Structure 1
Amino acid sequence: MDVAIQTPRPSDRIGFRRKAAAYFSLTKPRVMELLLVTTVPVMILAYDGIPSLWLIAATVIGGAMSAGSAGAFNCYIDRDIDKHMKRTENRPLVTGELTPREALVFSWVLAIGSTVWLALTTNLLAASLSVVAIFFYVVVYTLWLKRRTEQNIIWGGIAGCFPVLIGWTSVTGSLSWEPWILFAVVFLWTPPHYWPLSMKYRADYKEVGVPMLAVVRGRAVVGLQTILYAWATVACSLLLVPVAPMGITYTAIALVAGGWFIYETHRLYNRAIRDSDASPMRVFHGSITYLSLLFLAVGIDPLLPF
C-alpha cells in the first residue's frame, strides 16, 4: 500500500537561527529603528538633561516591542500582496520561513508584552499611547486606508508620530506643546519621506491595487506635493524654537538640514516635470538623514549652555 509522504513546510525545517532572524525581520527593524531615533532625544528634551538610563532603556524596549508588533501585524495582513511586490517578496511570510499563525501569535505577544512592559516600567499614559499607535498602524492604515485611498500614507502615518509622545510622557507623565509640535513634524515629514519610495515602486503598487499617490497621479503632482509637505515640515520644526525654547544648535540644524531637505524635493520635482530620471530614492534617503539630524539636535540642544 502506498503511503503519502507529507513534505514539511519551510517554516518547519529551518534552523533556530534562521527562524529567529525571520521573526526579527517580521518587526520591520529599519522602520523600528527610525521610530526609536525620535524617542530618546525627546526624553532628553522633556527632562532638560539626561534621564535615568533605566528609564531610557525601558522606554526604548517597550517602544521597540510596540513598533515591532505593528510591523508584524502589517506583514500578516498584507501577505497576499507582499508576494507580488519586489520590495516585499523576501518577507518571511512570503518565503515560508514563518506561517501566518506564527506571525499572528508573535504580533499579539509583542502587542500585549509592550503594553504591560510600558505600564510597569514607565506609566499608564505611555502604555496607552503605545496601544493607540498599534491600533492606528494596523486598523486605520493597514486595514482601512492603505487599499482604499491615495491619502493612505498621510493619515496612516500618524502611527509613526506616537514614539514622540511616548518618549515625552515616559519622563513627565503628561503632555504639553513641545511633544505635539514634534508629533506634527513627523506627521508632515511622512508623506515627503514615503511618496518618493512609492514613485520607485509605482509598478508594484499598481499591480496589487494599492492606490498610492504615485499610482493615481503623475510624477509632477507627486513631486509638487512632496515639496509642499517638506516646506510645512521645516516650518513646523521651527515652532519648537520659541516654545521649548531651543538654542542656537537646534535652530541652526533645523534651518540648514531643513533647507537641504527642501532643496532635494525641488530637485525631484524639476526632474519629474522634465520627464528625466527623477531619482526619488535620493529624497527618500535624504529625508531619513534630515529627520535623524533634526532629532539629534533635539537631544543635544538641552545639554548645551547656549
Structure 2
Amino acid sequence: MKLHTETTLSKWLDTETLAAYYELTKPGITFTVLASMLIGFLLGSGSNIDFILMAHAALGTWLIASGTAAHNQFLEWRLDGQMKRTQTRPLPSSKVTPKQSMAFSLVLIFAGSAYMIFMVNLLAGLISIATTVIYLGAYTPMKRVSAVNVFIGAIPGALPPVGGWAAAVGHLGHAGMWALFAIVFLWQVPHVMAIAWVCKDDYRNAGFRMLPRNDENGTKAVLLILGCLLLLLPATWALYAVELSGITYLIGGMLCAVAFLWYGIRFSLDRTKEKAKKLMFASFFYLPAVWAIIFIDQLIQ
C-alpha cells in the first residue's frame, strides 16, 4: 500500500505531468482574463486601491479561469484530437486522462468560486460563476450548432473587467464599467473570427460551425468584423467621456482602435488566410496594448 501511494504521488509530482496540468489551464488566456479583471478593479477603485482585496480577487480569478479553461478541454478533447493545432494538448496526446482533467478542472472551478464569494464579495463571485456557466454551458456546445456562438462567447470573454469592478466596489452602477465590457466584447468578435478564418479547415474537420463554414466568400465575416471595429471607436471614447481615464488613454486607445480597424479593412479587401492571420495578430496586440495604456494613464493622472 505504501509503495503504491508513493508511486502515485511521484507520478503526480513528475515534472512532465505538472507541465501538462499547467497547460490544461491555458496560461495565455488565463493571464488575459486576469489582466482584464485587474483593469476593472483598478478603474473601479479609483484612488483608493485595496491591495489585499486585489490579491484575493486575483487568486480567485486565476483559480476559476484556470478551471474553466481546463474543463473546456475536457469537454472538447475528442474534437481537439481532430485538429492539427490542438492535437498536442494534454488530453489528445494522452499526457492526462479525461477523468483526471475533469477532477482537476472541477476542483479549480469550485475552489475559485468559493474563494471569490467568501474572500472578495458575493457579487464578484456570482459574476465569475456566470462567466464559467455561459462559457461552458452555452458557448462550448453552441460551437457545434451555430456560428452565433461568436457572440455568446464574447459575453463571458467581456465579463472579467466587470468582475474586477464588482470586486473593488461591490456594485455595477457605473457607465465606465459597461464601457470596459463593450471594449472587450467588440474586440473579441473580430479576434475569434480571424482565428476561425485562419483555422477554418481544422474547425470544419472537427465539426465546429464557425462562420467560414457557411460564408466562403467572407461577406458575413467582413460585415461583422468591420461593424465591431467601427463600434470600438465610440466605446474607446466612452471610457474617457465618463472621466475614468485621461488624454493619454484617449490618444493611445484611439490609435490602437484605428490600427485594429485598418487590419480589418485590409482583410475586407482581400479575404485571404494571409490577411486573416495579420488581423489575428493585430487582435493579439490590441487588448494588452489598451490595458497597458490605461495603466500608464492611471499612473500619470
TM-score, structure 1 normalization: 0.89
Are 2:111 and 1:83 aligned? no
Three-state SS of the structure 1 residue aligned to 2:73 is helix
Aligned to 2:42: 44
**What's the CA shift for 1:243?**
1.6
State the one-letter code of the partner of 1:170: A
How many residues align? The count is 290
Distance 1:50 1:152 in 2: 38
Aligned to 1:204: 202
**What's the CA shift for 1:117?**
1.2
Distance 2:127 2:12 in 1: 37
Aligned to 2:276: 280
Contact 2:191 2:280 in 1 (8 A): yes
- Show the 5 A alignment for 1:150-299: 150-175=147-172, 176-221=174-219, 222-272=221-271, 278-299=274-295
Contact 2:197 2:273 in 1 (8 A): no
**What's the CA shift for 1:186?**
1.1
Aligned to 2:131: 133
Contact 1:41 1:300 in 2 (8 A): no
Contact 2:260 2:282 in 1 (8 A): yes
- Show the 5 A alignment for 1:92-103: 92-103=90-101
RMSD: 1.8
Percent identity, aligned pairs only, is 27
- The CA deviation string for residues 73-111 of structure 1, in whole angstroms up to 9 with x for no partner, is 110111121100011101111011111111111111011
Question: Is there any run of 5+ residues in structure 2 with no aligned partner, and where?
Answer: 1-9
Question: Is there any run of 5+ residues in structure 1 with no aligned partner, and where?
Answer: 1-11
Contact 1:44 1:50 in 2 (8 A): no
**What's the CA shift for 1:232?**
1.4
**What's the CA shift for 1:174?**
0.8
Runs of 4+ in 1 over 6 A off after TM superposition: 12-15
Q: Residues 281 and 50 of structure 1: is their aligned pair in 2 closer, same or farther, counting only changes over 3 Å?
A: farther
Q: Residues 219 and 61 of structure 1: is their aligned pair in 2 closer, same or farther, counting only changes over 3 Å?
A: farther
Distance 2:222 2:69 in 1: 27
- The CA deviation string for residues 204-241 of structure 1, in whole angstroms up to 9 with x for no partner, is 11112111012221243223421221111232121111
**What's the CA shift for 1:15?**
6.5
Three-state SS of the structure 2 residue aligned to 1:279 is helix
Three-state SS of the structure 1 residue aligned to 2:159 is helix
Q: Residues 102 and 225 of structure 1: is their aligned pair in 2 closer, same or farther, counting only changes over 3 Å?
A: same
**What's the CA shift for 1:265?**
0.8
Distance 2:273 2:101 in 1: 39
Aligned to 1:142: 140
**What's the CA shift for 1:303?**
3.2
- The CA deviation string for residues 182-204 of structure 1, in whole angstroms up to 9 with x for no partner, is 11221121110111111111111
Distance 1:26 1:277 in 2: 28
Contact 1:147 1:209 in 2 (8 A): yes
Distance 2:253 2:136 in 1: 32
- The CA deviation string for residues 227-271 of structure 1, in whole angstroms up to 9 with x for no partner, is 221111232121111123421011101211111110111111112
- Show the 5 A alignment for 1:7-86: 16-49=14-47, 51-86=49-84
